[in-house]
């Protein structure tokens, strides 16, 4: 494996203008161009393109265009997850979405980051920290998840929140930065029609 790609995947400093990485982004961009132009009725074609783009895709995953990512192969999405319009995933390291997640419009999962050191940044060095979203998480419209964050299962993050730190399972979090407001409790249950 080329050195810069190995460094990127390990979460170490790397240079994104490395030819292997440029080629990987170009491959993803070509697949995304096809995906984002595919008619809604062409569901089999969309499913094929997602399988070609992502590292792992569960059954019944829906990703509404337009969608953007860097490489695609670092993204895994669990079965039954729904990703709405205009989502962005900067996947220089793994981004893992659990089963049955709901990502509203404009959600950004930003695993890529840059050194605070101005000289290293000026020279083009960057790195990443993995993002993990547990099963059955709901991210409201415009939520931004920062590098290195893990969100526990069944958690709800309110629209516009900026998640800079890990969130535990079964909580409601809102704000910038996102803060836990409360736990999800029995009174949050609703009556499901037909049950």
Residue of 27, 114, 129, 170 marked catalytic: 114
Q: Clarify whether 27 is annotated catalytic.
A: no
User: What tokens were used for 24?
Assistant: 């990987």
Per DSSP, the three-state class of 19 is helix
Q: How far apart, in Å, are the Cα atoms of 120 and each of 21, 64, 75, 115, 117?
A: 19, 36, 27, 6, 6
In contact, 56 and 74? CB cutoff 8 Å: no
Q: Is 25 helix (H, G, I), strand (E, B) or coil?
A: helix
Which residue is associated with the tokens 């931004």? 144
Closest CA to 9 of 26, 28, 24: 24
The tokens describing 113, both together, are: 């980051």
Which one-letter DSSP state was computed for residue 156? Answer: E
Indicate which residues carry an active-site annotation: 114
């Amino acid at each position: 494996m080329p050195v810069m790609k190995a460094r990127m995947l390990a979460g170490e400093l790397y240079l994104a203008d490395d030819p292997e990485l440029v080629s990987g982004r170009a491959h993803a961009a070509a697949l995304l161009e096809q995906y984002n132009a595919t008619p809604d009725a062409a569901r089999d074609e969309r499913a094929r393109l997602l399988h070609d783009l992502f590292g792992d895709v569960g059954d019944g995953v829906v990703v509404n265009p337009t969608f953007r990512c860097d490489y695609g192969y670092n993204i895994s999405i669990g079965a039954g997850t729904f990703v709405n319009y205009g989502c962005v995933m900067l996947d220089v390291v793994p981004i893992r979405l659990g089963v049955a997640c709901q990502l509203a419009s404009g959600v950004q999962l930003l695993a890529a980051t840059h050194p605070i050191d101005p000289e290293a940044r000026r020279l083009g060095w960057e790195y990443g920290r993995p993002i993990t979203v547990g099963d059955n998480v709901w991210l409201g419209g415009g939520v931004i998840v920062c590098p290195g964050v893990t969100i526990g299962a069944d958690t709800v993050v309110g629209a516009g929140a900026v998640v800079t730190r890990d969130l535990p399972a079964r909580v409601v979090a809102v704000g910038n930065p996102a803060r836990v407001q409360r736990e999800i409790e029995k009174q949050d249950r609703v009556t499901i029609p037909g049950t």
